Amino acid sequence: MRKNQSLTGSLDWPLLIAIVLMMIMGLATVYSVAYNPDHPSIFDFSQKYGKQIMWLGISLFLGLLVFLIDSDIYQKFALPIYIFFISLLVIVLFMPPVNGARAWLGIGTMGIQPAEFAKIGTAILLARYLSSANLKSQNKTTVFVSNGIILLPMVLILLQPDAGTFIVFTAFLFVLYREGVSYDPLILFLLNLLPFRFLHFKRTWLGSHFIPILFIVIFLSVVTLLLSQETITLDMFPGHEFPGIVGMLFFLAVFALVGYFFMRWIFAKRDRKRAATIAIIGFVLAAGLATTVDYAFEKLADHQKERIELQLGLRVDPDGDDYNRNRAMAAVGSGGLLGKGYGNASVSSVRTNHVPESETDFIFCPFAEEWGFAGTLVLVFLYIFILLRIVLIAERQKAVFNRVYAYSVAMILFYHFAINIGMSIEFAPVIGIPLPFFSYGGSSMMSFSIMMFILLKLDSQRKDVLN
């Protein structure tokens, strides 16, 4: 049941103002980095800054349209919206490749990237499903369906291939974790298929801690690659070198020892046997994981190995395979404390072309070069403000649908923000994803605008949702 209220009565103005401010800052940066003295007008639509104004206008118009739609529509038509975007992901696989990937649908001389809009459809359907599912009494169907909603577009995006957007979709796993989706029903189902059973541990421990366990797995995998690629020496054996795999296993032994004392603290002294058992099992599993990672790394193609080695600092090639990140770091560092001033970017300017894609994937570089550390600090704080505002919106929702959707938006925005800036300062691999509301491009600007205005609409009508 709904009450009548003014269109903007409950609109979250701080969030909207922050988003518009981010758009303006992005437009100014695109104009600066792509400036053509032969076409000085910012409204020249033959230039990228002119096109960016057009994308901004279209995005705000689409945002206004979705804001005018009653929020119930998104719940009622969640499945058709999802199917529509999945259909686009299928169609795009039959399009001619652009830069080695089938990721664009051409419209005249322009194109859109369906994967950007698939995030919206996935967020809406996931919110719809979780709002109708009984998470207090989960079964394997709940786990299968909620993860299937996420995995289907991920598989189609991987076929394009678009590794960056594929990684961004893992943001939805954190939403499942926040809502308490446990993998126990699925894990127990798989274990029951085995000829033996060892389900004497608590049923909720492994499944409900899937995300932390996943991070531990990633951490151990990275440590394995760091330690297994070089020989090491141990003080207790002077003059002898050991393969890196020995060093990796030595680390895992220490890791298991620390885990044992941690488990003792959790289970208290009376349960030492259980703590020791868990530590031993953990060491065996970790050693197995490390050996598997080391073996799998050796089976990778040479160019895949090179990318991983460059990212982990195992190999240095500043003028070759690592050129993009090297030039990006040079541009960011050249800004100093206060920057060179607006329009004075040299390393990251399109005219010099030292930093590829400096108006799209690496737009943080010209901004940092022009405004320095002080300016980037303002930019980072503005993104943090937007993220915290979205989390605040999520936590004040009465409806589960609204909360799940809000957290989906927050995690997607965080992934883009962290990875994009991380690419420019060598904290993240170069996977080519835009900086939200900032980078040049229509698909990203429109999809994030629609996503945000749906959130603003849901939040504006939260008081109309009766318990």
412, 282: one domain:
no
Determine, yes or no, domain membership for 348.
no
280, 394: one domain:
no
pLDDT digits (tens, 9 = 90+) for 165-192: 888 998 998 898 888 777 766 666 665 6
Q: What is the pLDDT of residue 11?
A: 84
- Is the overall model pTM greater than 0.85, yes or no? no
Which of the four pLDDT bands, split at 50, 70 and 90, describes residue 313? low
Determine, yes or no, domain membership for 330.
no
Q: How far is CA 449 from CA 116, 150, 403, 413, 442, in A?
A: 11, 21, 18, 11, 10
Q: How far is CA 120 from CA 20, 37, 61, 155, 354, in A?
A: 20, 38, 17, 16, 35
Average pLDDT over residues 340-369: 81
Return the residue matching tokens 């999802």. 82
* Cβ contacts of 215 within 8 Å, gap of 6 or more: none
Determine, yes or no, domain membership for 316.
no
User: Structural domain tally of the chain?
Assistant: 2
Q: How far apart are CA 459 and CA 264, in angstroms?
A: 46
254, 169: one domain:
no
Q: What is the pLDDT of residue 200?
A: 45
102, 228: one domain:
no
Determine, yes or no, domain membership for 83.
yes
Q: Which of 339, 336, 350, 364 is nearest to 430 (CA)?
A: 364
Determine, yes or no, domain membership for 379.
no
DSSP code string of 124-169:
HHHHHHHHHS-GGG--HHHHHHHHHHHHHHHHHHHTTT-HHHHHHT
Q: How far is CA 175 from CA 123, 155, 170, 435, 460, in A?
A: 10, 19, 10, 21, 22
Tell me the pairing of strands 105-107 and 241-242.
unpaired
19, 150: one domain:
yes
Beta-bridged to residue 310, according to DSSP, are: none
Residue 159 structural domain: 13-189+384-464
Determine, yes or no, domain membership for 277.
yes
pLDDT digits (tens, 9 = 90+) for 188-203: 666 565 554 544 444 5
* Window from 147-156, 343-352, 375-384 with minimum mean pLDDT: 343-352
Asked which of 310, 342, 374 is the last residue of a domain, the reply is 310
266, 142: one domain:
no
**What angle do the packed helices 140-158 and 171-178 form, to 10 degrees?**
170
Q: Which of 75, 70, 54, 166 is nearest to 118 (CA)?
A: 166
Asked which of 310, 342, 360 is the last residue of a domain, the reply is 310
170, 239: one domain:
no
Phi, psi of 385 (to 5 degrees): -60, -45
Average pLDDT over residues 125-151: 84
Determine, yes or no, domain membership for 55.
yes
Asked which of 285, 310, 335 is the last residue of a domain, the reply is 310
Identify the three-state secondary structure at position 300: coil
151, 63: one domain:
yes
218, 102: one domain:
no
168, 27: one domain:
yes
228, 185: one domain:
no
Determine, yes or no, domain membership for 274.
yes
157, 86: one domain:
yes
pLDDT beyond 60 at 449:
yes
pLDDT beyond 60 at 246:
no
* Cβ contacts of 118 within 8 Å, gap of 6 or more: 85, 86, 88, 89, 153, 157
pLDDT beyond 70 at 146:
yes
Residues 185, 138 contacting (CB under 8 angstroms): yes
